[in-house]
Structure 1
Amino acid sequence: MMCSRCKKRPAVLFVSTMTGSERKNEGLCLQCAKELGLPQVSDYLKQMGISEDELENACDSFFGEDGAVDGDFLKQLGLDGKDDDDEADDETSDDSSEDAPKEEDNLFERGGAGTMPNFLKNLFGASDSKSDGDTEKKAKKKQEKTDKKRKCLETFCTNLTRRAKEGKIDRIIGREKEIYRVLQILSRRTKNNPCLIGEPGVGKTAIAEGIALKLASGDVPFRLQGKELYLLDLTALVAGTQFRGQFESRMKSLIDEVKNAGNVILFVDEVHNLVGTGGDSEGSMNAANIFKPALSRGELQVIGATTFAEYRKHIEKDSALERRFQPVTVNEPTIEETIELLGGIKQYYEEHHKVHVSDEIAKMCALLSERYINDRFLPDKAIDLLDEACACASLGSESITELEKLKADLAKQRVEESELAGDSNIDYEKLAEIKTTIAQTEKKISEVQPKAENVNVTIDDLSKVIELWTGIPANKIRETEYKRMSVLEDNLKAKIIGQDEACEVVAKAIKRSRVQLSDRRRPASFIFVGPTGVGKTELVKVLAKEMFDSVDPLIRLDMSEYMEKHSVSKIIGSPPGYVGYDEAGQLTERVRRKPYSVILFDEIEKAHPDVMNILLQILDEGKITDSQGRNVSFENTIIAMTSNAGSSNGMNGVGFAKTQSEVTKERAMKGLREFLRPEFLARVDEIVVFKPLSEESYAKIAKLNLEELRGPLEEKKLKLVISDDVYAAVAKKAFGGKFGGRDIRRVIRTDIEDKIAELLIENSEKQFGEVEITASGDEIAVNLK
């Protein structure tokens, strides 16, 4: 029955009072009994060791929503007014309206305030005999009441422990050391608030999820048994707080709920956001200041997660907040640990994408992500590569798409079948048709399913994803680097004429760098020395094209722009407090965006010495720190520097046995030592001296340059015909000039290209199919045919 006083809650205390000759019966709920000041209530509960929450839950189990008393409950308490011998023969129905008032009268006669201890004993003893269905209802009602008591927690937080029990959190591979350390801090008496600190993507949130899994399974120290981990959503906490005090009220309610629950641990991802959150309006407190008292008293347990930069910027500055957290450093995992992790979690991605991932592909995800993606951290970048490669393979498979469509069609057909079969007027003809359609669909599924289940993620899928992310051609990723290196020297010699020795030295140095025989990963570096027009810059361009299929990865810095001391800021960015601090360095930013590139420092003798000194760290360690504090890796770059040092020096070689190349090299080294420090020269892999070009080399270069005219002429439907004498004539005219190979371009431009242009303009109305270039002695003739 319902409480006689409030008419809202079930009655648990039954009192009979006499007023004159009339007897008044009252049933009171626990709340009303306490408000009326009945001392027996608290005394009985204390004597029996029963809390008010337990009594309330028990009442909900044995009293209906309308307050009616459960008949089985009356039998358990012995208040049904019947003897035990008559129970077997007595047949009663739930809809009998005569028994209900008798049962209630019996309650008042036998269940007054004086008999409450026996009433409570029977009440809590009776719960064991309830059916499974009643137990489920009881658990459901208990959960609903818990949710009501945790209104803020359920609104602004996510119960990670519940998600772990429901199987919605992937299992965690590794990180046992960090998880153990967090559990150790959580078990402390005071200052038991761990803060996970690490770079983005190293697995801080995953560690919190791992702790939720351990709490769900009970695999935690006894002090943490029964604890629940909640993920706090600061955005939801702030959303909708328009007026002063609303945010503080939410925070206070949240903290009170955590304190009252006694078994809640809050996980705050990006914990640095606590500082400043909610403190925008004048006079309002931010979230961190509201949390501090509860943290210091041990009433609130928090696991935080943030990056090193944000921890230094926000939390370290607030010493009162910092001392309440115990930092736990989360380092980037090694390649081996990442491979183990991918092997453990790949099944989740296989199930999601309906593809198969071999152990070799999982290993390649770790290796390729570490090699080609330098601005992110393991294991995040490796997992992302695996996920997107699986998506690439799944989208590229027609069988998977077809299978999913057939399964959806089959589900619709089965629903239609069940609706037809359940109809009172069954249309047997239509039912037979739908059964036939279902059989056909099932047959198609059986045919397509083997193909869909055999979709494998390949190295091509990984290469395509990396190409999208970094711009490195997929065929260069697929092609083995050793194979590419084996033909590098021949390809360089074919395009760089007259500098075979230089091509050989460069190819060997790059092979040595790529094989990585040393633990120190540093870029291959060269200084190309020689007179102008001998192919120094051209070799760098050809090298970029051979390594990356394009000259786009070539980063060229003209050192004549870096003649001042302050030019260092152009390379790594301006220091704090200077104009342009927010702008990235010209070199560091481009290398961050394109880690696989060839860097050309042209004419290094023109740069200020301080600019060259900053390259020392790049050449030695393969990395540099920019003005923003970010480490920029140069490990996968090739650094080339050009200089004309010694080319204008007229000194002669000393001794009789020295060749011209030895003399040229001595001149170059002496010229370099005049403006480069010894420690700089010692860090360079090879100093390559370019020889002056011979007339024969000029002729070969002229042939290469003239061949470039074929493409533009073919677009105009003109065929180019060149006699062999032309190459020698161009070489003879260009040889001996001050600008070396550049004179060849000048001769071709003035003696051939100008004439072709003039003839085409003069005869624009006529149709020609051929451009013929001939030579007679030093004279070069151009004719249209």
Structure 2
Amino acid sequence: MIQIDLATLVKPLNPFAKQALEMAASECMSQQASEITVAHVLLQMLAIPRNDVRVIAERTGISAEDLRQALTVESYPGGRSAEGYPSFSPMLIEWLKESWLLASAQMQHSELRSGVLLLTLLHSPLRYIPPAAARLLTAINRDQLQQDFAAWTKESAESVDLAGGQTPRATETGDTLLARYAKNMTADARNGRLDPVLCRDYEIDLMIDILCRRRKNNPVVVGDAGVGKSALIEGLALRIVAGQVPDKLKNTDIMTLDLGALQAGASVKGEFEKRFKGLMAEVIFSPVPVILFIDEAHTLIGAGNQQGGLDISNLLKPALARGELKTIAATTWSEYKKYFEKDAALSRRFQLVKVSEPNAAEATIILRGLLAVYEQSHGVLIDDDALQAAATLSERYLSGRQLPDKAIDVLDTACARVAINLSSPPKQISALTTLSHQQEAEIRQLERELRIGLRTDTSRMTEVLEQYDETLSALDELEVAWQQQQTLVQEIIALRQQLLGVAEDDVASLPDADAVEDTPPEAEQDSTDAESADDAGSVQPEETAETVSPVQRLAQLTAELDALHNDQLLVSPHVDKKQIAAVIAEWTGVPLNRLSQNEMSVITDLPVWLGCTIKGQDLAIASLHKHLLTARADLRRPGRPLGAFLLAGPSGVGKTETVLQLAELLYGGRQYLTTINMSEFQEKHTVSRLIGSPPGYVGYGEGGVLTEAIRQKPYSVVLLDEVEKAHPDVLNLFYQAFDKGEMADGEGRLIDCKNIVFFLTSNLGYQVIVEHADDPETMQEALYPVLADFFKPALLARMEVVPYLPLSKETLATIIAGKLARLDNVLRSRFGADVIIGPEVTDEIMSRVTRAENGARMLESVIDGDMLPPLSLLLLQKMAANTAIARIRLSAADGAFTADVEDALPDDAVTPQTEDETVL
């Protein structure tokens, strides 16, 4: 019976009073109080802004803080609740009963407000609250408050008229569901808080067409993350504010739904659905037309079920179909296919608006539109080269993300770095400072150990002191350079601001065109005569060496700064492509010099670059070079990829190494190489691993190895290794890729391959290549029939066949010399010893590399398996004995490799070289 009475008492409370009661109960639980008292509830009423209690206290001059302290002193005197759940105190129940009687019977209110609760309290304050708080409330005239209750509380957020209607201030005070759970995007656009939206006119016009329909006027904006779906809605809001929309959409508010706020606290079954239905009703019956924008709309499907309620999408469908509720939804392609397409009743109520990724040129235009925003935000200047570099470099090197989002992030980061360096030391100085502190700590530790006898060897101390002196010297030089650059940069910025101010003044002082046209010829002649007289009567100062215009001074300072930047870039007066390249290099690991170098010069000098690593394959390199030249000059047939090359030849002649080097040269690193071992695709059904599983099969939606690699890295190299081991039907995938520059994945998406270089490696026909090695002109004709036995003629015609010749003895000798030189460098740097390698070592290695079809692969086997084990054993023995090494000697005799390691002596004499020894 008590529970029923309590429910009856709580039900009339308006949202503000009910919120205070809930807050009091929560606080009592956290404090483990046994009862909820009147003081608890009144204390929480003071925490709610703009309610009746706060407004009345302000009107009568009562300090809310003083009243809060008076209530807090004795708010939790009770013992701890054994069950952990506080109960209503008898006085609280009595207070609610008397307040509801006063509100309903005497004041004719339909809800119980906090002001009426306070009015009841004033009748006998000592009965309900502590004496200190009661004394403060004596400043309120109870009779006058009851008589003029509406006037006293007209500024309160709880104010409602006697008929129960909402006052015009309710929306402003956040009392509507729309104000609580949605944000007015149109108001943001009106207040200038939205960035301009460019290159999306077609999509915005399409959205306007859909919104102006009578039924099913609900667009769903679908695109990959980062392509600008939310920006599309912002562009529509900007158009509405500018009045560039049909009359049907003018004065319309776009409200962005905050789904997190809508779900917060809705743990009771049906509460979430109740809020959403109320929100829909407010949108439908709003006096101002409202368009509801639901970002990440797929989260609505199934929302509510988690709390045991209905699916929210089922509440939307009737209103969407009748056109009563105008809604714009936004989601990604994967979620659209996973959630929307499976619900045909929901998807047919939305009209699809596809948002594709802009190209680099469009992204540059978008960045130009945001230029003023970022310049003002960071306080730096941005040149146009930086905008173009941000778009092109991010498109090429930042895989897995879309334009314009990644280009904006790069530009934003570069602006932040330039702004930071203008006022604080650059990171190079910070790194050296940290290193010096680390060295100081080690020096102190070594000094302590030497002082107490834990260490007797001073070599490490000497080495660290030398390193410390070098660090301090470098730090001093860097600080001097930073101060010089900062001084120049500050002067350059001041001159630029001066010139910009002069330019703005000149534009403002231009005469009106109409006024110039209306000037009579006589007046113009008089003015000219007057100017001539002034010129004749005045003495013009002669230009001297000391008179330098701001433009000339700016050029001088810029030249000085560029000279300092050639040594090291520490401070920049503006954001240019160097800062953009530095950000990309740090994010991707691609060397900065590779990003900054001219790509055309790399293509032009490609044979020189490849010849440094690939030996004995001049014909193959020349063939690759001429085709890549044509592709880079963009003179080939439109639509084709940058290249599709079949590298045929024996094993170990440099086919794979050529691809690795080209990935380094063309794209900046081996991370832009996708290698697929085609021996794993010997079955026909394995084609799904390359392009992804079709609908209805396991793995659908996860993407394929090949298509996902190309989609995430559209500027890259694809290597199909050992292609002759794959099933012939698997190769049918590449017809369109090699001819049209595109291929479809398992989900039906077209993957762009126009900026991909395809390489296929094969050992097919290596016997023919070996036989015709001396006659390259006839090699192609002899090789074609062998390749045609495996590759279909149509596919073979889409590729460029590049034969790799077997390595000659001279080439093998060059490769051996290079490998021994690298071994020499490793031994010298690791052990600090002299390295002597006899010429017989090269002869012995050559004698063991006898099979031409294995190429240079046998070199690794001979060096790692035969030559290095004896040396490794000796080195490990010396390291185990902690013996310093002075000299390492490698030789060969009687068909075996030998090694000798000499210990370092205190006064080690240099052993004279014998005639059969060579020092590399």
TM-score, normalization by structure 1: 0.68
Instruction: Give distance in 1, aligned partners of 2:383 and 2:193.
Output: 24
Contact 1:554 1:600 in 2 (8 A): yes
Instruction: Give distance in 2, aligned partners of 1:521 and 1:393.
Output: 40
CA displacement at 1:703 relative to structure 2: 0.9
CA displacement at 1:502 relative to structure 2: 1.1
1:538-553 paired onto structure 2 within 5 Å: 538-547=657-666, 550-553=669-672
Structure 1 residues 446 and 161: CA distance shift in structure 2, 3 A: farther
Instruction: Give distance in 2, aligned partners of 1:383 and 1:186.
Output: 30
Corresponding residue number in structure 1 for 2:266: 241
Structure 1 residues 667 and 462: CA distance shift in structure 2, 3 A: same
Instruction: Give distance in 1, aligned partners of 2:672 and 2:488.
Output: 49
Corresponding residue number in structure 2 for 1:771: 888
Structure 1 residues 145 and 196: CA distance shift in structure 2, 3 A: same
CA displacement at 1:501 relative to structure 2: 0.8
Instruction: Give distance in 2, aligned partners of 1:274 and 1:779.
Output: 75
Match of 2:775 among 654, 657, 660: 660
Instruction: Give distance in 2, aligned partners of 1:386 and 1:244.
Output: 47
* Aligned-residue CA RMSD (Å): 4.1
Corresponding residue number in structure 2 for 1:182: 207
Question: Structure 1 residues 709-718 or 561-570, which shifts more?
Answer: 561-570
Structure 1 residues 500 and 759: CA distance shift in structure 2, 3 A: same
Contact 1:645 1:672 in 2 (8 A): yes
2:610 is the counterpart of 1:492:
yes
2:284 is the counterpart of 1:259:
yes
Structure 1 residues 589 and 218: CA distance shift in structure 2, 3 A: closer
CA displacement at 1:726 relative to structure 2: 4.8
One-letter amino acid of the counterpart of residue 721, structure 2? D
Contact 2:182 2:256 in 1 (8 A): yes
| Residues 312-350 of structure 1: per-residue CA shift (max 9 Å, x gap) | 544455444445444444444454433222212111111
Structure 1 residues 702 and 612: CA distance shift in structure 2, 3 A: same
Corresponding residue number in structure 1 for 2:409: 384
One-letter amino acid of the counterpart of residue 475, structure 1? N
Corresponding residue number in structure 1 for 2:721: 602
> Which secondary structure state, in structure 1, belongs to the residue aligned with residue 292 of structure 2?
strand
2:785 is the counterpart of 1:670:
yes
Corresponding residue number in structure 1 for 2:419: 394
> Which secondary structure state, in structure 1, belongs to the residue aligned with residue 807 of structure 2?
coil
> Which secondary structure state, in structure 1, belongs to the residue aligned with residue 192 of structure 2?
coil
Instruction: Give distance in 1, aligned partners of 2:580 and 2:769.
Output: 56
CA displacement at 1:782 relative to structure 2: 5.1
Corresponding residue number in structure 2 for 1:717: 832
1:659-738 paired onto structure 2 within 5 Å: 660-684=775-799, 686-714=800-828, 715-723=830-838, 726-728=841-843, 730-735=845-850
Contact 1:705 1:745 in 2 (8 A): no
1:205-604 paired onto structure 2 within 5 Å: 205-263=230-288, 264-282=290-308, 284-373=309-398, 375-398=400-423, 455-518=573-636, 519-547=638-666, 550-576=669-695, 578=697, 585-592=704-711, 594-604=713-723
Instruction: Give distance in 1, aligned partners of 2:700 and 2:212.
Output: 45
| Residues 376-435 of structure 1: per-residue CA shift (max 9 Å, x gap) | 433333323322222233334435999xxxxxxxxxxxxxxxxxxxxxxxxxxxxxxxxx
2:763 is the counterpart of 1:644:
yes
Structure 1 residues 555 and 323: CA distance shift in structure 2, 3 A: closer
| Residues 694-747 of structure 1: per-residue CA shift (max 9 Å, x gap) | 222222122112112113311122222345565455435534565333334444
CA displacement at 1:154 relative to structure 2: 0.3
Identical positions, percent: 38
Give unmatched runs, 5+ long, in structure 2: 1-51, 53-103, 110-147, 149-165, 428-485, 498-571, 903-920
Corresponding residue number in structure 2 for 1:58: none
Instruction: Give distance in 2, aligned partners of 1:612 and 1:723.
Output: 50
Instruction: Give distance in 2, aligned partners of 1:651 and 1:549.
Output: 34
Contact 2:300 2:312 in 1 (8 A): yes
Structure 1 residues 740 and 343: CA distance shift in structure 2, 3 A: closer
Question: Structure 1 residues 217-226 or 356-365, which shifts more?
Answer: 217-226
Structure 1 residues 354 and 143: CA distance shift in structure 2, 3 A: farther
Instruction: Give distance in 1, aligned partners of 2:229 and 2:664.
Output: 41
CA displacement at 1:522 relative to structure 2: 0.9
One-letter amino acid of the counterpart of residue 504, structure 1? A
Contact 2:650 2:853 in 1 (8 A): no
Structure 1 residues 614 and 193: CA distance shift in structure 2, 3 A: closer
One-letter amino acid of the counterpart of residue 685, structure 2? H
Structure 1 residues 781 and 227: CA distance shift in structure 2, 3 A: closer
Corresponding residue number in structure 2 for 1:134: none
Contact 1:529 1:668 in 2 (8 A): no
Structure 1 residues 302 and 568: CA distance shift in structure 2, 3 A: closer
Contact 1:191 1:324 in 2 (8 A): yes
Instruction: Give distance in 1, aligned partners of 2:653 and 2:748.
Output: 40
CA displacement at 1:151 relative to structure 2: 0.9
CA displacement at 1:597 relative to structure 2: 4.2
| Residues 10-46 of structure 1: per-residue CA shift (max 9 Å, x gap) | xxxxxxxxxxxxxxxxxxxxx99xx99xxxxxxxxxx
| Residues 458-512 of structure 1: per-residue CA shift (max 9 Å, x gap) | 2222223323444433322211111222332112223222221112112223333
CA displacement at 1:675 relative to structure 2: 0.9
Contact 2:178 2:279 in 1 (8 A): yes
Contact 1:523 1:619 in 2 (8 A): no
> Which secondary structure state, in structure 1, belongs to the residue aligned with residue 801 of structure 2?
strand
Instruction: Give distance in 2, aligned partners of 1:310 and 1:669.
Output: 48
Contact 1:695 1:732 in 2 (8 A): no
CA displacement at 1:609 relative to structure 2: 1.0
1:39-78 paired onto structure 2 within 5 Å: none
Structure 1 residues 242 and 483: CA distance shift in structure 2, 3 A: same
One-letter amino acid of the counterpart of residue 734, structure 2? L
| Residues 43-77 of structure 1: per-residue CA shift (max 9 Å, x gap) | xxxxxxxxxxxxxxxxxxxxxxxxxxxxxxxxxxx
Contact 1:530 1:668 in 2 (8 A): no
CA displacement at 1:651 relative to structure 2: 11
Count of residues paired in the alignment: 607
Instruction: Give distance in 2, aligned partners of 1:514 and 1:471.
Output: 24
> Which secondary structure state, in structure 1, belongs to the residue aligned with residue 302 of structure 2?
coil
Instruction: Give distance in 2, aligned partners of 1:713 and 1:194.
Output: 68
Contact 1:522 1:621 in 2 (8 A): yes
TM-score, normalization by structure 2: 0.59
Instruction: Give distance in 2, aligned partners of 1:183 and 1:582.
Output: 32
One-letter amino acid of the counterpart of residue 260, structure 1? F
Contact 1:647 1:667 in 2 (8 A): no
Structure 1 residues 287 and 455: CA distance shift in structure 2, 3 A: farther
> Which secondary structure state, in structure 1, belongs to the residue aligned with residue 329 of structure 2?
strand
One-letter amino acid of the counterpart of residue 351, structure 1? Q
One-letter amino acid of the counterpart of residue 804, structure 2? F
Corresponding residue number in structure 1 for 2:172: 147
Give unmatched runs, 5+ long, in structure 1: 1-7, 9-30, 37-103, 105-140, 403-443
| Residues 522-573 of structure 1: per-residue CA shift (max 9 Å, x gap) | 1422222222333323333333444456555444333333322233233334
Structure 1 residues 500 and 724: CA distance shift in structure 2, 3 A: farther
Instruction: Give distance in 2, aligned partners of 1:331 and 1:761.
Output: 60
> Which secondary structure state, in structure 1, belongs to the residue aligned with residue 682 of structure 2?
coil
Corresponding residue number in structure 2 for 1:71: none
Instruction: Give distance in 2, aligned partners of 1:513 and 1:740.
Output: 31
> Which secondary structure state, in structure 2, belongs to the residue aligned with residue 267 of structure 1?
strand
> Which secondary structure state, in structure 2, belongs to the residue aligned with residue 394 of structure 1?
helix
Structure 1 residues 753 and 255: CA distance shift in structure 2, 3 A: closer
Corresponding residue number in structure 2 for 1:202: 227
